[in-house]
Structure 1
Amino acid sequence: MTAPAVPSSFLVREVKAFGRSVHRVGVSASFGLEEAGIEAAFERGVQYVFWNPTARKLTAVLRRLGPSRREALVVATGPSFGFTAGSVRRRVERALRVLRSDYLDVLQLYWLGRMSAYRPAVLEAMLRLKEEGKVRVLGTSIHDRVRAGELARSGPLDLLMIRYNAAHPGAEQDIFPHLAPRQPAVVAYTATSWRRLLRKPRDWSGAVPSAGDCYRFCLSNPHVDIVLMGARNEGELDENLRALERGPLSEPEMQEMRAFGRAVHG
């Protein structure tokens, strides 16, 4: 029997911040994915890339892309420590040299409040880089959900990278209700809660979800635009993408996943 087609709105959607449709799965090469696996992800439609200069295999793949293939991607990065305007500009200019590119799609302040600061001078430097065409979208990654909700309501940041999974669903109360009317892009990471959601907790008698189920949980929420996948090899990449072809979680699956997340969270 032929499997039902996955709704295009589940795996591909129009993202206001990017001004175009994108695949809702993003890749990070921080977990050992080889160049062949990265290429396979791109061939299967993955567009969002979370990049840093130490990701040599990902860098090599990005350097080989022709202009049309590069334009199809959304490459996101940021300064390791964004406390000053100078550090932000230096990181962007270094990234452009390493990637041999004229622009970055997303410039984000890493771990706002811990490894970067939302200061007027820093913000001015980001806006200037955008005016110069060196970056296209400004964003941040942040653990403070209440502050993230505040940033969602007011500009100029148009992308929030947040922790969201079945064990940590607090964004549903603290962030998602504040996304309208600006509609900043939401990128979810730690979908497996650093693999804790792949292990059976004490006193749990039900089934243990797969990594694919964890990614389906994130994308089943209409407020999540992109979920970052940390596949370690091409086999995991294929398994996860196949799981996503099943579409959003059904209501019984969602209830089971939430119950499992509560058990994992303790």
Structure 2
Amino acid sequence: MEKRALTSDILVSPLGLGTVKFGRNQGVKYPKGFELPSDQQIDHLLGLAFDLGINLIDTAPAYGLSEERLGKRLLNRQEWVIETKVGESFEKGESSFDFSTDATRLSVERSLRRLKTDYLDLILIHSDGNDEKILKYEGVLDTLMQMQQQGYIRAVGISSKTVEGALLAYELGCDAVMATYNPTYTDELPVLEAAAKQHKAVLIKKAFASGHLDKIGGADPVEQALGFIFAQQGVTSVVLGTLNPDHLRHNVQVAKAVLGA
């Protein structure tokens, strides 16, 4: 798969590997429960993703053990684009949010330790839904941009919940936005259109409606969803989470067909 520009010096695969299932199985919205994978399963999935041409890894402190487990395995660090988040923590089955300056810096430093790296390619603000308030009045964005200047972070953005918040993020100089878009939910299309117009990055979450492929329909819901999403020129990468190697292979096969790769 041909890489796409996240920024002028960061290239990512059009599919990214989401890793919430590597570290958390509580409080998630998937249709079926699941057990956390073994170390061997994670090793196999990461190796397969790499062999299939995926270089973007999506994680977050709110994904439980995900960062820590990845840090023990991404030994060929330079080959991966690691995207994590700040603002949300998940402990004892509940999420909490803190977008203050101190919490942001501590979160970044913790992620660096957990992921065993001295820099992070992209950090997104893990929004609680109050996008505009977070961006305008909390210390998180200024802190991230300061840490970006200091070399700890290569790119900054937000995993947004509103169109207004995503557009504001672009206005304020963010490099990327993570937005929701799939055949069953198109409310955030203006974000994709703005990304294309402004030559900014947009990552797509919930491409398969959080695993509810039955809602997408079509002979092959994966093809239906990816074809629909990649029809938008602004899309940089679609982040998909799976623990099933066959599903991962199929996702890549479909994406390559859709993109003409």
TM-score with structure 1 setting the length: 0.76
Give, as a single letter, the amino acid of the residue that structure 1 aligns with 2:236.
Answer: D
Contact 1:103–1:134 under 8 Å retained in 2: yes
Contact 1:161–1:189 under 8 Å retained in 2: yes
Q: Which residue of 2 aligns with 1:214?
A: 225
Q: Which residue of 1 aligns with 2:173?
A: 156
Offset of 1:247 from its aligned partner? Answer: 2.0
Q: Which residue of 2 aligns with 1:167?
A: 184
Offset of 1:194 from its aligned partner? Answer: 1.9
Offset of 1:107 from its aligned partner? Answer: 1.2
Structure 1: stretches of 5+ with no match in the other structure: 1-10, 250-266
Q: Which has the larger radius of gyration?
A: 1
Q: Which residue of 1 aligns with 2:143?
A: 125
Give, as a single letter, the amino acid of the residue that structure 1 aligns with 2:15.
Answer: V
In structure 2, do the counterparts of structure 1 residues 220 and 40 end up closer, same or farther at CA, with 3 Å as the change threshold?
same
**Mapped partners of 1:195, 1:16: distance in 2:** 26
- For residues 175-203 of structure 1, what are the alpha-carbon distances to aligned partners after superposition, in whole Å with 9 as ceiling and x for unaligned? 2332365422100011111233x2168xx
- Percent of pairs identical after alignment? 22
Give, as a single letter, the amino acid of the residue that structure 2 aligns with 1:47.
Answer: N
Q: Which residue of 1 aligns with 2:160?
A: 142
In structure 2, do the counterparts of structure 1 residues 125 and 210 end up closer, same or farther at CA, with 3 Å as the change threshold?
same
**Mapped partners of 2:19, 2:6: distance in 1:** 25
**Mapped partners of 2:105, 2:18: distance in 1:** 23
Offset of 1:125 from its aligned partner? Answer: 1.1
Work out which of the residue numbers 60, 63, 76 in structure 1 matches 2:72: 63
Contact 2:16–2:55 under 8 Å retained in 1: yes
- Counting matched residue pairs gives 230
Structure-to-structure mapping, 1:1-266, within 5 angstroms: 11-17=1-7, 19-32=9-22, 34-35=41-42, 36-53=44-61, 54=63, 56=65, 59-66=68-75, 69-79=76-86, 80=88, 81-111=97-127, 113-114=129-130, 117-118=134-135, 119=137, 121-152=139-170, 154-172=171-189, 174-179=190-195, 182-196=198-212, 198-199=213-214, 207-248=218-259
Q: Which residue of 2 aligns with 1:253?
A: none
Q: Which residue of 2 aligns with 1:264?
A: none
In structure 2, do the counterparts of structure 1 residues 237 and 212 end up closer, same or farther at CA, with 3 Å as the change threshold?
farther
TM-score with structure 2 setting the length: 0.77
The alignment partner of 1:100 has SS state of: coil
Contact 1:165–1:193 under 8 Å retained in 2: yes
Give RMSD over aligned pairs: 2.6
In structure 2, do the counterparts of structure 1 residues 57 and 40 end up closer, same or farther at CA, with 3 Å as the change threshold?
farther
Structure 2: stretches of 5+ with no match in the other structure: 23-36, 89-96
Contact 1:48–1:74 under 8 Å retained in 2: yes
Give, as a single letter, the amino acid of the residue that structure 2 aligns with 1:29.
Answer: T
Larger strand percent: 2
Offset of 1:56 from its aligned partner? Answer: 4.0
**Mapped partners of 2:45, 2:202: distance in 1:** 25
* Larger displacement relative to structure 2 (126-135 or 216-225): 216-225
The alignment partner of 2:235 has SS state of: coil
